[in-house]
Amino acid sequence: MPLARAAQTDTLAVSTLAEDREAPTQTLPVDRSTTLPPRRADAERLRELAAQREFQYREAKTELSFWERFWNWLWEWLGKISSTKQGRTTWKYGFYAALAGILVFAVLKLLQVDIGGVFGRKPRRSTLPYDVTGENIHEVDFPTRIAEAEAAGDFRLATRLGYLAILKTLTDQGLINWQPDKTNQTYLHELSNGALRNSFREATRQFEYVWYGELPLTAALYQQVRADQRAVTAPLNGRRPSTLAPTA
């Protein structure tokens, strides 16, 4: 047993566990002869350190902004409300009401119901913003501009203006639904069968040859084009505008 042997050789109060139970414990003598000088920090160095920012443990009191004070007040107030019985009841029913509102909104959204009308907002006519870069046919003074183009000998432009004037007339009469993205063939498709459709088809054909096909027009040929264009709109003079009912 090495521990027991060590206890026998030294003067230390070390014993085996068995000895602990049987023999009294010996204490070590306290050394009072050695004098230890106390160590003291350099006062100058302490002052220097204390002046440094890292050792300034007291936080400067920051001024709260209006917005922070508002939120502090709000949370405090809400906490105060919820601590009362009446407040807790209000919170509970408020939460149920909000949940019901979210559910109703989600259902209406899924059904694609326009709820803007409830607040008096008119439903959007089209979800797409049209990039109308050209002239608005409802604002153009066609007779004047056609006369100017004819005077300048620009029969191509005059043909175009004449065709746009037809589209304006048909729109005003409620016979076609003017949209900037529609092609001439789409308008032709919107017209019901009959003389008007035939005359519009011919005017469209001529316009496309002149405008897209860059067909050079003589004065005589232009007169025929204008006559055909007038033939489209002449029967509509004095006609009462109808409610638009496109065929498609």
Biggest alpha carbon–alpha carbon distance for the chain: 143
The residue behind tokens 């566990």 is: 17
Report the 10 Å Cβ neighbour count for 104: 11
- 127: three-class secondary structure by DSSP: coil
- When binding is defined by CB under 8 A, the residue of 71, 183, 234, 241 that contacts another protein is 183
Residues 6+ apart with CB under 8 A from 132: 180
- When binding is defined by CB under 8 A, the residue of 67, 129, 242, 243 that contacts another protein is 129
Give the nearest distance from C-beta 65 to another protein in angstroms.
Answer: 37
Give the nearest distance from C-beta 209 to another protein in angstroms.
Answer: 5
Q: Taking CB under 8 A as the rule, does residue 142 contact another protein?
A: no
Q: Taking CB under 8 A as the rule, does residue 123 contact another protein?
A: no
- When binding is defined by CB under 8 A, the residue of 7, 182, 226, 230 that contacts another protein is 182
Nearest residue (CB) to another protein, 28 versus 132: 132
Residues 6+ apart with CB under 8 A from 171: 137, 138, 177, 178
Q: Taking CB under 8 A as the rule, does residue 17 contact another protein?
A: no
Which amino acid is located at 247 in the chain? Answer: T
Token representation of residue 79: 């906490």
- Crossing angle of helices 155-172 and 219-233, rounded to 10°: 0
Which amino acid is located at 39 in the chain? Answer: R
Nearest residue (CB) to another protein, 15 versus 207: 207
Q: Of the listed pieces 26-34, 76-84, 89-97, 180-188, which binds another protein according to CB under 8 A?
A: 180-188
Kindly write out the interface string for residues 23-62 of this chain, putting x where it contacts another protein by CB under 8 A and - elsewhere: ----------------------------------------
Q: CA-CA distance, 71 to 105, in Å (whole number)?
A: 29
Nearest residue (CB) to another protein, 66 versus 130: 130
Nearest residue (CB) to another protein, 182 versus 230: 182
Kindly write out the interface string for residues 191-230 of this chain, putting x where it contacts another protein by CB under 8 A and - elsewhere: ----------x---xx-xx-xxxxx----xx--x------
Give the count of residues interacting with another protein (CB under 8 A): 38
Whether residue 180 contacts residue 132, with contact meaning beta carbons closer than 8 Å, is answered with: yes
Cα angle 37, 41, 47; round to 5: 160
Question: Would you call 163 exposed, middle or buried from its count of C-beta atoms within 10 A (0-12, 13-18, 19+)?
Answer: buried
- When binding is defined by CB under 8 A, the residue of 22, 59, 131, 139 that contacts another protein is 131
Whether residue 137 contacts residue 172, with contact meaning beta carbons closer than 8 Å, is answered with: no
Q: Give the residues lining the site for another protein (CB under 8 A).
A: 128-134, 160, 163-164, 177, 179-186, 188-190, 201, 205-206, 208-209, 211-215, 220-221, 224, 246-248
